């Protein structure tokens, strides 16, 4: 009798469904024990709400410092209006956690706001460490969130991961080659000078001027001189370089390339490698301009 009743109920469900009536019982049932990766996902599987305790920051994130005042301001906004843009996350099976790809600032502010869940956009594609760093760098560069040395270290890491040069990094991130080379030059400065940059007492522009000096002691001395404007730093660096070159005459260098061509650098006076790099960057910009204007090859 019981089996007959169950059969009739089953038939009734199919009849109602054929008439357009959907009941809870007639819908496909989900697994009673969902995979940890699927908890919180909406049917589209691309977005969903996740318990914030199941999300962790990426330990390889190029940005290492976050302004507390800005985080509090954003937390207040999220508390009042909600998170307007989901963060992007990837699944880490070993940790059984979601790792932030983009939006760590929003993630930190959401935690600070005391919310228990966070809106996420799920990235299921397998990404290499290099691809992850590229995405994080692009986001931070667009928002201008990275500090000068964080940016420089991220460029350097990308170069090491991929065997790239500065121009290839610039192409991947859609920034100018000179921006990359100027940033990387900061890593050549003494530790004491880099500390001044991190503390904010030495501007990146002034620090870049110091990279043109080949004497670390002079670099340290100028970095600790108070109240120097950028213009004054430029003038002092020029004077120092002029003085250091006063007894040297002439530059003649040749740089062979893998294509079979060689680049020659000649001058009536001695130039530093920083000066040569600047000159080559100017030449590169001129060549690119000619290509854009369809100037015929020689």
For residue 255, give the nearest of 279, 288, 220, 291 by alpha carbon: 279
Distance CA 266, CA 92 (A): 55
What pLDDT is stored for residue 25 in this prediction?
45
Length of the chain equals: 298
Distance CA 57, CA 37 (A): 17
What pLDDT is stored for residue 120 in this prediction?
93
pLDDT digit string (tens) for the chain, length 298 residues: 555 555 555 545 444 444 444 444 434 444 455 577 666 665 556 888 999 999 999 888 887 788 888 899 999 999 999 998 899 998 988 989 999 988 888 999 999 999 999 999 998 888 888 888 888 887 777 666 678 998 898 888 888 888 888 888 888 888 888 889 999 999 999 999 999 998 888 988 889 989 888 888 888 888 888 777 878 888 888 887 776 655 445 677 777 776 778 788 877 777 788 888 888 888 888 788 778 777 666 5
- Name the pTM for this structure: 0.53
What pLDDT is stored for residue 23 in this prediction?
47
Other CB atoms within 10 Å distance of the CB of residue 133:
21
Distance CA 57, CA 100 (A): 5
Which CA distances in Å does 205 have to 90, 112, 144, 202, 246? 37, 34, 16, 8, 26
Structure tokens at 173: 């991130």
Q: Which residues are catalytic?
A: 104
Q: Which helix (H) or strand (E) holds 51?
A: strand 47-51
């Amino acid at each position: 009798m019981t089996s007959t009743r169950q059969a009739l109920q089953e038939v009734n469900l199919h009849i109602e469904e054929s008439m357009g009536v959907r009941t809870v019982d007639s819908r496909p049932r989900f697994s009673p024990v969902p995979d940890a990766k699927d908890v919180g996902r909406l049917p589209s599987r691309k977005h969903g709400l996740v318990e914030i305790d199941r999300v962790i920051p990426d330990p390889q994130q190029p940005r290492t410092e976050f302004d507390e005042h800005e985080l509090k301001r954003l937390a207040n906004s999220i508390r009042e209006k909600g998170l307007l843009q989901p963060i992007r996350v990837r699944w880490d099976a070993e940790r059984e956690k979601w790792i932030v790809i983009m939006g760590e600032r929003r993630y930190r502010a959401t935690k600070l706001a005391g919310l228990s869940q966070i809106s996420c956009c799920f990235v299921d594609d397998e990404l290499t460490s290099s691809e992850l760093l590229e995405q994080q760098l692009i986001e931070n560069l667009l928002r201008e969130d990275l500090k000068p040395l964080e940016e420089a270290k991220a460029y350097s890491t990308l170069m090491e991961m991929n065997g790239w040069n500065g121009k290839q990094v610039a192409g991947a991130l859609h920034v100018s080659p000179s921006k990359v080379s100027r940033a990387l030059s900061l890593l050549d400065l003494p530790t004491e000078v880099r500390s001044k940059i991190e503390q904010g007492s030495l501007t990146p522009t002034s620090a870049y001027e110091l990279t043109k000096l080949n004497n670390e002691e002079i670099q340290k001395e100028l970095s600790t001189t108070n109240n120097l404007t950028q213009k004054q730093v430029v003038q002092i660096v020029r004077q120092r370089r002029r003085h250091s070159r006063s007894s040297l005459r002439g530059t003649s260098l040749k740089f062979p390339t893998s294509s079979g061509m060689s680049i020659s650098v000649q001058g009536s006076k001695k130039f530093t490698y920083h000066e040569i790099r600047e000159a080559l960057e100017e030449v590169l910009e001129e060549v690119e301009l000619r290509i854009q204007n369809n100037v015929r090859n020689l």
